[in-house]
A and B are shown apart, each in its own frame.
Chain A
């Protein structure tokens, strides 16, 4: 197993408030890593540090190191390059108000791909990877806003694929979706994990047990426990983890 991301002694402050405390973990390639924990525990904040989305927030200070394939993403990597390599999908589907085709072609275009045939190929490949090509191939020119919530979210995943990322971060990607759409996205993540490194924040613990290889439990900005998912959900080492996952606090 290769460590795709290495996180060393990461602290994050919003002004005076310390939101992440001494985070250390390795995220392995071709695995799904889940982050769980109560609201405000720092899991989404930490997810965003992995592609420097927190750079955009005023007053944020980050110390420590985050290495992508051994390269420090805060010191030695351009944010645009980083975000091409580390894509993100948010809780609420956020398609651009343009056609399905344009949503997926947008990223490659901004990275300089102009050739129509090449763009067609990327759009088809990305939509196939997101398991929605057959659903939308006859209406690529239609507005993405006409898609259902589940389709919109898979379109956002397709959009993330379009720039050929290595890591995909997902922040509660199914929390607004019905069970069938949720199942489709879970199946999709399991199918694609052999080609990517996937990190998912989820409030749905059954989802973490269904799809992830490893799970980290966050509380008050700290990682309380990080282990193989099966072990963490069957025999957690820390009492706080046990209490949280069995619903006795949080």
Chain B
């Protein structure tokens, strides 16, 4: 029964996995752009952003088509409405990665006021959150989605550590101020990415339990 619809849902999963990997790449290139002070990585983030936006439109129209044609109910309705909500957060993650790359581009010729240690850790943590939240959706894994929600604390803690360090740097030398603020903004964008990944995981839990 409903083989065609089930095939369509499989295709939707594949599209979400693809959009997820574009986002993971985008976060990776944004952190590379910062750490390696690498212009080609900035360009890569810009290219990925176009692909992410296109992917959002593709998935959105696919979901609307399924709503129209299949008039889904129960778990089918939750899956499609979850996908529609997820892609909004995913697209925002792409925007945030681009924001990070923009600041990194501005810092390409600057000497760093401190070793960049915790920001890459934020990048790793958020990439993992995005990846796991999409895995949780595809595999209908509630426990994994709940783990992702908890992981946001790691990202928030790292943000607080970075903030404290940067305050110290400004106190040491006021001329550090401008770069400290740029780094803080980057950290804040990663913190926002963590929040979006947590939102995705919360929607995945809704798709499984019906509760949000």
Contacts and interface: CB of A to CB of B under 8 A. Distances in A.
Interface of A: 205-206, 209, 233-236, 241-242, 245-250
A234 B1 contact: no
Given A234-B77, A234-B78, A206 B71 contact: yes
B2 interface: yes
Contacts, number: 33
A249 B210 contact: no
B74 interface: yes
Given A234-B210, A235-B210, A247 B74 contact: no
Contacts of A250: 1
A235 B1 contact: no
B2 A247 contact: yes
B1 A233 contact: no
B203 to A, nearest CB: 15
* Residue among A236, A247, A249, A250 with max Cβ neighbours from chain B (10 Å): A247
B76 interface: yes
B6 to A, nearest CB: 8
A245 B1 contact: no
B74 A234 contact: yes
A104 to B, nearest CB: 36
Pairs A-B, 8 closest by C-beta atoms: A235-B210, A247-B2, A233-B73, A248-B1, A245-B73, A246-B76, A242-B74, A246-B74
Contacts of B1: 247-250
A236 B71 contact: no
B74 A233 contact: yes
Interface string B119-155: 0000000000000000000000000000000000000
Interface in B64-104: 71-78
Nearest to A233: B73
Contacts of A234: 73-74, 77-78, 210
Contacts of B74: 233-236, 241-242, 245-246
A162 to B, nearest CB: 36
B106 interface: no
Contacts of A246: 2, 72-76
Contacts of A249: 1
A242 to B, nearest CB: 5
A205 B77 CA distance: 14
Nearest to A208: B73
A206 B68 CA distance: 12
B68 to A, nearest CB: 12
B159 to A, nearest CB: 36
14 contacts: A234-B73, A234-B78, A236-B74, A242-B74, A242-B75, A245-B73, A246-B72, A246-B73, A246-B74, A246-B75, A246-B76, A247-B1, A247-B5, A248-B2
Contact of A209 (B2, B73, B76): B73
A245 B1 CA distance: 12
A118 B72 CA distance: 49
Contacts of A248: 1-2
A246 B66 CA distance: 13
A209 B71 CA distance: 11
A199 to B, nearest CB: 21
Nearest to A232: B74
Contacts of B2: 246-248
Given A234-B73, A235-B210, 17 more contacts: A205-B73, A233-B74, A233-B77, A234-B74, A234-B78, A235-B74, A236-B74, A242-B74, A245-B74, A246-B72, A246-B73, A246-B74, A246-B75, A247-B1, A247-B5, A248-B1, A248-B2
A249 B6 CA distance: 13
Contacts of B210: 234-235
